[in-house]
């Protein structure tokens, strides 16, 4: 360190936030730090010319008269505003944002010299309360919306303190630093003087400034003036330019802010924008396809005007404008002739059958009358040559719409209206659900396969959490303009059905990409929001001034971006109300909701109560759960929803699958009966899991040999053992038994026992898979940690609780009776059983009490 030259030591000093510790190392460094030139240039190099004087005044022990002279002669910025704040702080006359001693540590003689130098530069300096330059600046900001004759501070006064008295916020902690860009946005003529004083616009203020420049003006400001001010601002600073964010906000006010919108179009024509306004409007309109804002009448008028000013050949943009027009027409009850006039004026006519289909399947279209009436009068041609769809074509269109709406979780209202207006659609919907949406256990991928990671059921999706599902068909938006929408009806068999399913978009949200081949906008141009310019300006003004300088492009005020209607009726809830709890359609929706873990649907299907108390649970009001639900979740490795376990604890009947619990009086009786007869095997037997489950359950008390099933009855909805009906039937059956069997007590298993029995078998199977996979990984030497699936973890925890509940229910019903001697009524009569030795530790009873 002693061998270093003074220049190197000086550079080391400049990099340290606090060099005082370094000065204590040696006498050479201490004497070097006392050099006035080193002290002055330390503040200039470390903090910059704008903050050098402010930081030097805070180090009163090192500030001397010579240091002040070197600072001012070397280019440190000294404004009259800084001098005023320093005098107020030194003499305790006002309380500013500074909470530290700051200038009060400066010796009195040095501070007097500092005031003398300020007087030589600026003359007499106002020192009264509210007379400093910062107060004048804030007064001008508060009065910016006042008429000219009511303003106490004009823009000429602000220009004077900028040019003559070098006004400039002297610290980043100064509240005026966050308000300074707002003044420049209100009066762009002040920017040259601010730049001359050393002000540099931070890019974080960019949108904040341009929003104020495009703001709707009530005076005589013209679009030419706004455009010219923006051009001058962009020339002064290369980081200042209009972003896509601000331009989209101006477009959202095209009908109310004529001056700002006209100025934006002028900038686009003159080439002063870094993007094409036409492409921006296309991207903006696309965002409305699956957002709630499209259903607002005011938004529909804005979309129509934007499309009229910048027509587009993009099919998605065209569809957005058509949907907005039909939603507005449905709400205002516009006649078909007026609707056709609007479409022609917007250059959207003629429409095709495909357009009508795309309108009706939109999530925010809940009525079909306007679209159907227009299709009957203006779309296509009938056999006699007149315009409009025939009755058969219109019926085919509605049938295909009903099929598609099954996959869109929020289209329950439209399906309800279609059922009321066209009763034959009911059979179409039932057939569609039973033929195309049945889920077989063997078709579900296992959790070891990669296909299980993105696996989800098409019905019963939670649209509020996971999106809308398959909303759009890509070939309808980008294909030809053929009117053969009805041809989709014939693509449900064989390979055509497979092609149709592949054509659908297997994602949660529709892909709305730019099909014109335009390059994507650079990220620094900003993101597009659906918020209006006025809304964002109000949010900027209401935000705390200190946090504004840390703002980036965040959108927390997007109230209209929900992807479902405000009062949506889920399709699964509509199906439950329409078909009943014991229908095959409701059972199919329940299976899909279980796979998708849709809490909203599961709560409606499984958690209905007679009152607000959970103890009032009624099984006859619920859609029954089955063992198949747990088996599907086991294959996928997903944890079951808590509603399934709650139903079991509340006494849900045990069924293997939905075929065991379908009511014969349901709305799908004929179709279900026909399929049951067609698909029922000639000699139905109980699945293999039944016998294995019985062995697992009985092994708790005694070990018994294998036995064969003696009945073909698959219904496991058996009442509890204390029912009078069962007791009477047991008595009657016991009278017909041989005398050797009369001493045996027949115990029928309750629903809870059956659930515990079969879930235990499923739990053992999953544990075996886990252990086998772990052994294979160890044998192959794969350093991968084999963890349990969420299903196995959940079942392990909840099965323990179910077993405890089952024991408590038996104990409460029959007392402390030993169930080891009880057998099922289908047990073999000649079997000999032995009790398992108890694993409980036996305690020795001492004759005279405890030894301790």
CA dist 618 and 650 (Å) reads 8
**Is 33:19 a contact under the CB 8 Å cutoff?**
yes
**Is 285:321 a contact under the CB 8 Å cutoff?**
yes
Based on the domain organization, do 584 and 651 belong to the same domain?
Answer: yes
Peptide bond connecting 350 to the previous residue in cis, omega within 30 degrees of 0: yes
Q: Residue 278 domain-assigned?
A: no
Based on the domain organization, do 740 and 661 belong to the same domain?
Answer: no
Based on the domain organization, do 621 and 725 belong to the same domain?
Answer: no
Based on the domain organization, do 738 and 673 belong to the same domain?
Answer: no
Instruction: Classify the C-alpha dihedral 108-109-110-113 as positive or negative.
Output: positive
pTM: 0.69
CA dist 506 and 5 (Å) reads 71
Looking up tokens 């033929």 gives 435
**Is 794:639 a contact under the CB 8 Å cutoff?**
yes
Other Cβ atoms less than 10 A from the Cβ of 356: the count is: 27
**Is 188:213 a contact under the CB 8 Å cutoff?**
yes
Based on the domain organization, do 28 and 123 belong to the same domain?
Answer: yes
CA dist 52 and 14 (Å) reads 13
The pLDDT, as a whole number, for residue 816 is 54
Listed residue (52, 82, 57) closest to 176, CA to CA? 82
Q: Residue 163 domain-assigned?
A: no
Other Cβ atoms less than 10 A from the Cβ of 208: the count is: 22
Based on the domain organization, do 744 and 666 belong to the same domain?
Answer: no
Based on the domain organization, do 12 and 128 belong to the same domain?
Answer: yes
Q: Residue 524 domain-assigned?
A: no
**End-of-domain residue from the set 90, 118, 133:** 133
Looking from the CA of 619 toward its CB, the CA atoms found within 13 Å total 16
CA dist 268 and 276 (Å) reads 7
- For residue 10, the Cα-to-chain-centroid distance in whole angstroms is 55
Q: Give the residues across from 703 on adjacent strands.
A: 834
At 617, give phi and psi (nearest 5°): -65, 130
- For residue 589, the Cα-to-chain-centroid distance in whole angstroms is 24
**Is 489:527 a contact under the CB 8 Å cutoff?**
no
**Is 368:414 a contact under the CB 8 Å cutoff?**
yes
Q: Give the residues across from 411 on adjacent strands.
A: 569
CA dist 199 and 165 (Å) reads 14
Listed residue (298, 356, 354) closest to 326, CA to CA? 356
At 702, give phi and psi (nearest 5°): -155, 160
Based on the domain organization, do 97 and 25 belong to the same domain?
Answer: yes
What stretches in the chain show pLDDT beneath 50? 470, 473-483, 486-521, 545-559, 610-615, 663-737, 739-744, 817-838, 842-852
Q: Residue 731 domain-assigned?
A: yes
Radius of gyration over alpha carbons of the chain, in Å?
A: 40
CA dist 473 and 184 (Å) reads 49
- Under DSSP, the state recorded for 737 is S
CA dist 743 and 754 (Å) reads 25
Q: Residue 394 domain-assigned?
A: no
Listed residue (591, 251, 241) closest to 437, CA to CA? 591
Domain count, the chain: 3
**Is 257:533 a contact under the CB 8 Å cutoff?**
yes
**End-of-domain residue from the set 728, 748, 768:** 748
At 612, give phi and psi (nearest 5°): -75, -5
Q: 227: exposed, middle or buried (C-beta count within 10 Å: 0-12, 13-18, 19+)?
A: buried
**Is 746:819 a contact under the CB 8 Å cutoff?**
no
Collapsing DSSP to helix, strand or coil, 746 comes out as: strand
Q: Give the residues across from 835 on adjacent strands.
A: 702
Residues 6+ apart with CB under 8 A from 274: 241, 242, 525
Q: Which two tokens stand for residue 356?
A: 């009508």
Q: Residue 610 domain-assigned?
A: yes
- For residue 430, the Cα-to-chain-centroid distance in whole angstroms is 32
Listed residue (279, 258, 257) closest to 268, CA to CA? 279
**Is 572:601 a contact under the CB 8 Å cutoff?**
yes
Q: Got the DSSP string for 311-361? A: ----HHHHHHHHHHHHHHHHHHT--HHHHHHHHHHTT-PSP-HHHHHHHHT
Listed residue (33, 37, 46) closest to 69, CA to CA? 37
The pLDDT, as a whole number, for residue 481 is 44
Q: Could you read off the pLDDT of 643-652 as tens digits, one per residue?
A: 888 888 888 8
Q: Residue 317 domain-assigned?
A: no
Based on the domain organization, do 670 and 741 belong to the same domain?
Answer: no
Based on the domain organization, do 675 and 723 belong to the same domain?
Answer: no
Determine the length of the chain: 852
Q: Which two tokens stand for residue 600?
A: 């909203």
Q: Which two tokens stand for residue 656?
A: 């293997």
Looking up tokens 């900001």 gives 141
Collapsing DSSP to helix, strand or coil, 609 comes out as: strand
**Is 212:536 a contact under the CB 8 Å cutoff?**
no
Q: Which two tokens stand for residue 639?
A: 């944890």
CA dist 514 and 316 (Å) reads 9
What stretch of H or E contains 81?
helix 80-90
Other Cβ atoms less than 10 A from the Cβ of 375: the count is: 26
**Strand 702-703 to strand 834-835: parallel, antiparallel, or no bridges (unpaired)?**
antiparallel
What stretch of H or E contains 691?
helix 688-698
Show the CA angle centred on residue 168, arms to residues 196 and 70, nearest 5°: 80
The pLDDT, as a whole number, for residue 554 is 41
Residues 6+ apart with CB under 8 A from 553: 207, 245, 526, 527
Peptide bond connecting 272 to the previous residue in cis, omega within 30 degrees of 0: no
**Is 647:606 a contact under the CB 8 Å cutoff?**
yes
Based on the domain organization, do 77 and 128 belong to the same domain?
Answer: yes
187, 545, 830 from 542: Cα distances, Å: 20, 8, 86
Which domain range does residue 616 map to? Answer: 580-679
Q: Residue 445 domain-assigned?
A: no
Q: Got the DSSP string for 472-510? A: -BHHHHHS-----GGGGGG--SHHHHHHHHHHB--SSS-
Q: Which two tokens stand for residue 37?
A: 């030139």
Can you list the positions of beta strands (E) in 472-602? none
CA dist 411 and 623 (Å) reads 21
Show the CA angle centred on residue 285, arms to residues 569 and 247, nearest 5°: 130
Based on the domain organization, do 636 and 729 belong to the same domain?
Answer: no
**Is 153:36 a contact under the CB 8 Å cutoff?**
no
Q: Which two tokens stand for residue 822?
A: 């009880």
Q: Could you read off the pLDDT of 715-754 as tens digits, one per residue?
A: 434 344 444 443 444 444 444 445 444 444 555 778 888 8
At 229, give phi and psi (nearest 5°): -60, -40
**End-of-domain residue from the set 618, 650, 679:** 679
Q: 754: exposed, middle or buried (C-beta count within 10 Å: 0-12, 13-18, 19+)?
A: buried
């Amino acid at each position: 360190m002693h061998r270093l030259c003074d220049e190197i030591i000086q550079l080391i000093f400049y990099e340290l936030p606090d060099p005082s510790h370094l000065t204590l190392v040696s006498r050479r460094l201490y004497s070097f730090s006392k050099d006035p030139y080193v002290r002055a240039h330390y503040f200039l190099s470390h903090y910059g010319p704008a903050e050098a004087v402010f930081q030097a005044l805070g180090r009163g022990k090192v500030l001397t008269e010579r240091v002040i002279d070197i600072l001012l002669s070397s280019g440190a910025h000294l404004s009259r505003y800084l001098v005023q704040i320093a005098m107020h702080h030194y003499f305790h006359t006002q309380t500013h944002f500074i909470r530290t001693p700051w200038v009060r540590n400066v010796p009195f003689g040095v501070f007097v010299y500092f005031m003398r130098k300020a007087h030589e530069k600026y003359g007499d300096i106002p020192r009264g309360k509210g007379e400093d330059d910062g107060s004048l600046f804030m007064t001008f900001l508060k009065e910016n919306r006042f008429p000219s004759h009511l303003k106490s501070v004009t823009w000429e006064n602000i220009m004077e303190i900028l040019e003559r008295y070098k006004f400039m916020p002297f610290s980043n902690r100064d509240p005026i630093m966050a308000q300074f860009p707002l003044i420049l946005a209100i009066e762009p003529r002040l920017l040259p003087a601010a730049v001359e004083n050393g002000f540099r616009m931070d890019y974080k203020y960019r949108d904040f400034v341009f929003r104020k420049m495009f703001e709707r003006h009530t005076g005589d400001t013209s679009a030419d003036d706004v455009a010219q001010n923006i051009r001058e601002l962009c020339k002064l600073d290369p980081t200042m330019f209009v972003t896509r964010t601000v331009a989209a906000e101006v477009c959202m006010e095209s009908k109310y802010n004529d001056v700002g919108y006209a100025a934006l179009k002028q900038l686009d024509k003159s080439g002063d924008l870094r993007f094409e306004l036409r492409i921006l409007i296309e991207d903006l309109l696309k965002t409305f396809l699956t957002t709630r804002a499209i259903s607002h009448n005011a938004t529909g008028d804005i979309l129509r005007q934007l499309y009229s000013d910048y027509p587009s050949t993009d099919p998605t943009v065209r569809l957005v404008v058509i949907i907005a027009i039909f939603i507005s027409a449905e709400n205002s009850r516009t006649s078909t002739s007026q609707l056709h006039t609007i479409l022609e004026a917007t250059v959207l006519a003629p429409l095709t059958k495909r357009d009508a289909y795309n309108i009706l399947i939109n999530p925010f279209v809940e009525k079909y009358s306007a679209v159907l009436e227009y299709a009957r009068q203006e779309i296509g041609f009938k056999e006699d040559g007149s315009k409009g769809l025939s009755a058969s074509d219109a019926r085919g269109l509605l049938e295909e719409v009903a099929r598609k709406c099954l996959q869109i979780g929020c289209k329950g209202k439209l399906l309800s209206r279609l059922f009321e207006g066209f009763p034959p659609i009911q059979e179409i919907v039932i057939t569609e659900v039973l033929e195309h949406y049945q889920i077989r256990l063997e078709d579900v991928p296992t959790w070891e396969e990669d296909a299980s990671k993105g696996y989800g059921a098409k019905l019963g999706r939670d649209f509020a959490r996971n999106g809308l599902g398959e909303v759009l068909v890509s070939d309808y938006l980008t294909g030809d303009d053929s009117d053969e929408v009805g041809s989709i009806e014939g693509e449900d068999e064989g390979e055509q059905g497979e092609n149709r399913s592949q054509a659908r978009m297997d994602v949660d949200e529709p892909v709305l990409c730019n099909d014109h081949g335009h390059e994507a906008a650079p990220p620094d141009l900003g993101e597009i929001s659906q918020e209006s310019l006025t809304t964002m300006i109000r949010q900027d003004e209401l935000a705390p001034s200190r946090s504004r300088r840390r703002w980036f492009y965040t959108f927390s005020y997007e109230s209209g971006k929900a992807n479902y209607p405000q009062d949506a009726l889920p399709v699964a809830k509509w199906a439950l109300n329409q078909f009943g709890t014991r229908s095959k359609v409701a059972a199919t929706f329940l299976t899909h909701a279980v796979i998708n873990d849709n809490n909203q649907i599961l709560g409606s299907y499984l958690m209905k109560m007679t009152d607000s108390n959970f103890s009032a649970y009624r099984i006859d009001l619920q859609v029954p759960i089955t063992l198949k639900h747990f088996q599907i979740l086991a294959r996928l490795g997903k944890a079951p929803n808590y509603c399934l376990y709650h139903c079991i604890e509340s006494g849900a009947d045990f069924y293997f699958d939905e075929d065991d619990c379908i009511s014969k009086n349901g709305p799908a009786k004929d179709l279900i009966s026909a399929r049951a007869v067609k698909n029922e095997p000639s000699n139905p037997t109980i699945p293999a899991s039944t016998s294995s489950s019985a062995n697992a359950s009985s092994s708790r008390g005694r070990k018994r040999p294998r036995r064969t099933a003696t009945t073909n009855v698959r219904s496991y909805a058996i009442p509890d053992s204390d029912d009078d009906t069962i007791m009477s039937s047991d008595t009657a059956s016991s009278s017909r038994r041989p005398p050797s069997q009369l001493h045996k007590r027949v115990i029928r298993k309750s629903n809870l026992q059956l659930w515990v029995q079969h879930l235990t078998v499923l739990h053992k199977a999953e544990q075996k898979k886990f252990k086998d996979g772990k052994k294979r990984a160890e044998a192959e030497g794969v350093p991968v940690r084999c963890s349990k699936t969420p299903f196995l973890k959940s079942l392990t925890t909840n099965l323990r609780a179910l077993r405890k509940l089952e024991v408590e229910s038996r104990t409460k019903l029959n007392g402390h009776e030993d169930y080891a001697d009880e057998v099922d009524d289908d047990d073999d009569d000649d079997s000999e059983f032995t009790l398992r030795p108890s694993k409980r530790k036996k305690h020795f009873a001492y004759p005279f009490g405890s030894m301790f």
